């Protein structure tokens, strides 16, 4: 659906324009909506303009911006939607067991997601690497209380090798650590892998930890022979 409106410029003059399309998603709450159009503002060079919108979902109602580029000049210039902003990170909801043993992991992971939403790509991998270390060490401490001091002071790789017994957790965590190190070092060892692989491996590691904790819980609660 297009919008015919008057766009203002910095000197407060107005010009009739057409916005060819409207956003169909709110970057704040990530819901599909038909946003309320508020106003339009054109750049000095006329090649771009911004539309101001409000999310129409009653749990959100946030203001956001649609960035447009001119696609047709004339008496009523036409603009096509290119992007919307600002984005709020869509936070991953980790299971209760993960939140319980490593709340710091959940918080750092959320901050890495926020960096990605802000297009700070160089910081995402670094954040995920730090989140992984907290997850692994918190899990290792919960499983090896007698070695908690050693675990806290150890490097990540020796911690994984020495204190993680579940095979699936160990193997996924090792590979996540390899890719996490690539994100923090000057040269990469795994040139065919990127931060998307790291995100998946961190999530797999968390999932296997959750499975391990749940399995241990039910084995303990439901002893054989009852």
Per-position DSSP letters for 69-92, written without gaps between them: EEEE-SSS-EEEEEEEEPPPP---
80 and 103 in a single domain? The answer is no
d(Cα 16, Cα 218) in Å, to the nearest integer? 67
- Which of 64, 85, 106 is the endpoint of a domain? 85
* Cβ-proximal residues to 202 (8 Å cutoff; 6+ apart), any chain: 109, 128, 131, 132, 135, 176
Name the pLDDT band for 226 (thresholds 50, 70, 90): low
* Distance from C-alpha of 19 to C-alpha of 2, rounded to nearest angstrom: 5
Given a cut of 90, whether residue 118 has pLDDT beyond it is no
Q: Are 45 and 114 contained in the same domain?
A: no
Number of domains in the chain: 2
Q: Please provide the distance, in angstroms rounded to a whole number, between the alpha carbons at the two ends of the chain.
A: 65
Q: Are residues 65 and 122 in the same domain?
A: no
What does pTM read for this prediction?
A: 0.74
Confidence of residue 103 (pLDDT cuts 50, 70, 90): very high
In a domain, 68, yes or no: yes
pLDDT confidence bin for 74, thresholds 50/70/90: confident
Distance from CA of residue 55 to its chain's centroid? 21
pLDDT exceeds cutoff 90 at 146: yes
Domain of residue 116 covers 96-221
The predicted structure's pLDDT at residue 62: 96
Give the domain-ending residue among 52, 85, 118.
85
The domain boundary residue, chosen from 37, 65, 85: 85
Mean pLDDT throughout 44-72?
Answer: 95
Q: What is the mean pLDDT of the chain?
A: 94
């Amino acid at each position: 659906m297009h919008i015919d409106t008057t766009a203002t410029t910095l000197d407060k003059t107005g010009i009739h324009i057409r916005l060819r399309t409207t956003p169909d998603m709110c970057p704040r709450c990530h819901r599909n909506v038909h946003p309320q159009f508020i106003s339009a503002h054109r750049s000095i060079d006329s090649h771009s303009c911004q539309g101001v919108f409000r999310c129409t979902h009653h749990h959100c109602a946030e203001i956001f911006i649609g960035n447009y580029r001119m696609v047709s000049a004339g008496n009523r210039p036409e603009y096509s939607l290119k992007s919307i902003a600002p984005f709020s990170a869509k936070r991953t909801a980790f299971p209760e067991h993960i939140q319980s043993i490593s709340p710091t992991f959940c918080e750092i992971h959320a901050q890495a997601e926020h960096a990605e939403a802000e297009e700070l790509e160089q910081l995402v991998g670094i954040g995920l690497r730090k989140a992984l270390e907290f997850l692994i060490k918190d899990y290792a401490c919960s499983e090896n209380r007698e070695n908690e001091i050693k675990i806290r002071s150890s490097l990540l790789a020796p911690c994984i090798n020495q204190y993680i017994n579940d095979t699936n957790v160990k193997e996924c965590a090792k590979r996540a650590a390899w890719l996490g190190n690539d994100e923090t070092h000057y040269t990469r060892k795994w040139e065919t892998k990127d931060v998307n692989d790291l995100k998946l491996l961190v999530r797999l590691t968390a999932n296997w930890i959750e499975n391990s904790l749940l399995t241990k819980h039910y084995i303990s609660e439901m002893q054989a022979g009852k």
